[in-house]
Structure 1
Amino acid sequence: MSWLRTVARLLLGAFLVVAGIAHLVVPSEFLAQVPPVLPAREAIVLVSGLVEIALGGALLFAPARHRARVGIVVAALFVVVFPGNVSQYLTGTDAFGLDSDGARATRLLFQPVLVLWALWACASRPALRRGAVVTSPGRPGSAGPPRHRR
């Protein structure tokens, strides 16, 4: 199963690098996803492209000890950009061959798949569990004793 996770992680990393480069090469296609009410829409496309390149590179090259955290950050990226996909659907803006409400709605349904893909491919669920809840020391699932400020 680990080889399948590795292949999934590498494919997702390559996908993000290619998508990030596309942000820089054909930014007009990505403007469709930036809600019209946001300022500096071109800058948002540029920065999001650079972030995708960086995260794709992290998926491809990060040491194993960092992969779970990288998966969480990539999943968070997919959550953060989701409102842009919703905006594209609501405004009926064509881009990426999404030229109908049905095609744009189908894309919305694929976003949770990307989130799960990132978490699974990087084996991030245990890291999410460890960081999600801090219980008292000595109990199962405990993240250890609370830290005090000095």
Structure 2
Amino acid sequence: MITAAIGHFTFQRNDFQAQVPNWVPVDKDLVVILSGIVELVLGLTLMFLTRYKVKVGIFLAVFYVLVFPGNIAQYLNGTSALGLDTDLSRLIRLFFQPVLIFLTLWSTGAITYFKSSKV
């Protein structure tokens, strides 16, 4: 998360801007900066405030859901960014987002939390 956040602010900034769907009514650079801040905060929280890892895992999973339209837009628009320069690679990337969400929930203990909660 921290490495991705740094990319948002520096060397991958244009690539992340290319993933922001055109229908988002906010400046693409602002979206990239704000999402980078979110990633930085979540990454640092996971590293240093481990007692909150379940909550951070849930927030991170929600974040991954919220940025998924950017992955879809990248595929639909054929945008080359972040090493995804073919339709096939962009399509394959779409299938990894649910895996990423699951791994986030699993590795932070959020799945166990949900299973043991009396909802």
Greater relative contact order, per chain length (Cα 8 Å cut-off, separation 6+) = 2
Instruction: Select the structure of larger CA radius of gyration.
Output: 1
> Is the contact made by 1:23 and 1:49 (CA closer than 8 Å) also made in structure 2?
yes
| 2:35 aligned residue | 48
Structure 2 CA distance, aligned partners of 1:101 and 1:123?
34
> Is the contact made by 2:106 and 2:112 (CA closer than 8 Å) also made in structure 1?
no
One-letter identity of the residue aligned with 2:10: V
Q: Secondary structure at 1:45's aligned position in 2?
A: helix
One-letter identity of the residue aligned with 2:3: V
Structure 2 CA distance, aligned partners of 1:118 and 1:58?
14
Q: Describe how 1:45-84 pairs up with structure 2 within 5 A.
A: 45-64=32-51, 66-84=52-70
Compute the RMSD of aligned alpha carbons.
1.3
| 1:3 aligned residue | none
Gapped runs of 5+ residues in structure 1?
Answer: 1-15, 131-140, 144-150
| Structure 1 residue 58, shift from structure 2 partner | 1.2
| Structure 1 residue 97, shift from structure 2 partner | 1.5
Q: Secondary structure at 1:90's aligned position in 2?
A: helix
Structure 1 segments of 4 or more deviating over 3 A? none
- Count of aligned residue pairs for this structure pair: 116
One-letter identity of the residue aligned with 2:4: A
User: Are 1:17 and 2:2 counterparts?
Assistant: yes
Q: Percent identity?
A: 41
One-letter identity of the residue aligned with 1:57: L
Structure (1 or 2) with the greater helix fraction: 2
Q: TM-score, normalised by structure 2?
A: 0.91
One-letter identity of the residue aligned with 1:51: V
